[in-house]
Structure 1
Amino acid sequence: MSEDQQGAGHIPVLLDRIVELLTPALDAPGSVYVDCTLGLGGHAAAVLAAAPRARLIGIDRDPEALAEAGRRLAPFGDRVTLVRAVYDELGDVLAREGTPRVQAVLADLGLSSLQIDRRERGFAYAVDAPLDMRMSAGTGPTAADVVNGYAAAELARILRGYGEERFADRIARAIVAARDTEPFTTSARLVEVISAAIPAAARHTGGHPAKRTFQALRIEVNGELAALEGLLPQALDALAPGGRFAVLAYHSLEDRPVKNTFAAASTDRAPRGLPVVPKEYKARFRLLTRGAERPGEEERNHNPRAASARLRVAERLSEES
């Protein structure tokens, strides 16, 4: 879920399209649908309603999200199993649940509406809030720990790599200078320092001046890209033949590894020039989306948080490795 628009409320992104693409794999009795980023359970509820013979394994690292989703999904009874975990623990979760093969997997990357809208979670740059940003509430280092403890060079590396911030060095130096006077505890002062470090001519282009820095801090605090790199092969390996894996990404840093992984999985592995591709070298997956599908104008207008979404879906064809 994108955080570009604060306060838009919980509206699952590309909901109808995801239901359309995943439910054909969930028609058989006992089919298993895994929602790796359960959030408030909007996608999960719609898929369960459309696939009445399927059951859900819902995964989220956020205990608040699991509690909210549990209440929403209660009408589905014993068809629902909720697990607190990070999505790169998918293989372990499925092993514990005795379901090494599943029929559908969804990963809706980024933030959930719950995380964006609850000020005390510290993800917002548009309101003053504690510098927390942990998706696993109460666990691990906070954004305040990062901005107050990292050296300028390390801060700049994070801002460039995770925020694609072209003024990373200037912002990092400004943060270090400001924290020498007083440590950062809330977002408002950090936003002021970031804005002052960016040249005036650049402050009014590319969205909020703190957007890229806050994205970078969030990714660093939660290890999001490392977790995504761990999830992708596990999810593909977990699919039974005919199973489908859908990923919603919201910026290029998320979408790029998904695109590359899906492209490799859907490409024959035979040496070039062979007149016939042997079965063992044929691609194990096919792509169900042409490139990345984007929300239409109507959805973008109704749900501004969907504006940057990119959906890719792959289907498993065979068990050959």
Structure 2
Amino acid sequence: MARINFDLQELQAFVAVAERASFRAAAEDLHLSAPALSRRIEKLELLLGVRLFERSTRHVSLTNVGRLFLDHARTALEELESAMLGISDLAVQRSGLVTVACVPSAAYYFLPSVLTAFSARHPRIRVRILDESANTVLNAVIGGRADFGISFIGTQEPEVEFESIFSERFVLAVRRDHRLAARRRIRWEELADERFMTVDKSSGNRVLIDAALAQLARRPSGFFEVAHVSSLLGLVEAGLGVAAVPRLALPVEGHPTLRGIALVAPEVSRTLGLIARRGKPVSGAARVLYDLLRQAARRAR
């Protein structure tokens, strides 16, 4: 088989034009002149013996062969970048910024241990956490303010790729001295007479719970409403009532004040996932953190 010799720059040029659907925009991204970019694409097409793009004065689109080659080109570039980051001597010298948008419960109880491992391997890379509501996390990823996100919404968004990493049930958070604290499970209907506290209707968690309980004859109504689950736990600790929260939001077992009790009839759960912009693969240092989070989630299941 004949060997095909081309430069990495030609592969990067092809991916840039394919993603931007514009030679001009791709040239600006790569800090090249338009003629220089065109020469790289022409050389690659000549080496492969196929046309990768259909061109007109106003429009650029991939050919059928070009669409197939794009998947292989992206994979090759990602694997090369990951391999370079995996070399410890180079990784230590690498610097930069990774931005992760994350729902607060995951940011508080799931992310720290992964960040500890990441920082040990890449001490020169800074990490910025946008701990916001699920909707804000989704918008941060779609808008490009975050390299990727951790959330429980996004599966229906055409602009987002959602990779499930963790499924968790909602539990009832109570003080250990509460009269319900000795129970192993509680039906939602039993909470109709409790001082029940909840997040407000703008919260994705509230939407999940309301939808799941819509058919119940008796259901809890909120005495207090707050914006974040962390605030709910503070109110529970203060003895103001009980609250339904994702299991991940509860402190670890053995907490001196709080306890979680299984909620049933129905069981309500949410699925956390890693979300990224479709067609914009997570790469570089962000990819290393992305993979560490995925591995940690698998261990936690």
> Which of the two has greater strand per residue?
2
TM-score relative to the length of structure 2: 0.28
Q: Which has the larger radius of gyration?
A: 2
Q: Per residue, is there more helix in 1 or in 2?
A: 1
